[in-house]
Amino acid sequence: MRDVSGDREAVVLGADRAAAWVGGPGDDEAIRPEIVIGFHGLCLVKPIDSDDWYMGGLNDDGTVDCWSAYDDFHEALRGL
């Protein structure tokens, strides 16, 4: 994971946080995280009910706003 992303300080974060897809105005949709990985302010979130991975930003309150979606983990890491 660290080799592909280029981030040697990537960490697994607790999945007990709110996450949302914020694709556009009025399009907010809750995501139930199974896995959350932090990369210096960016996060990758894998929902419980999907094989997709979402990229987003970690907010000061610990929530995650996601704006990009990827079909697989490797593709998501490369997107960082």
pLDDT value at residue 40: 84
Residue 28 lies in domain: 2-79
Domain count, the chain: 1
Classified as helix, coil or strand, 79 is: helix
Dihedral sign for Cα 61, 56, 41, 17, please: positive
Kindly report the number of other CB atoms within 10 A of residue 61's CB atom: 7
Instruction: Fill in the DSSP letter of residue 54.
Output: E
pLDDT digits (tens, 9 = 90+) for 1-51: 666 666 677 888 999 999 999 976 667 789 999 999 998 889 999 999 999
DSSP H helices, the chain, are 2-5, 73-79
pTM, two decimals, is: 0.87
φ/ψ region of 62 (left if φ > 0, alpha if ψ in -120 to 50, else beta) reads left
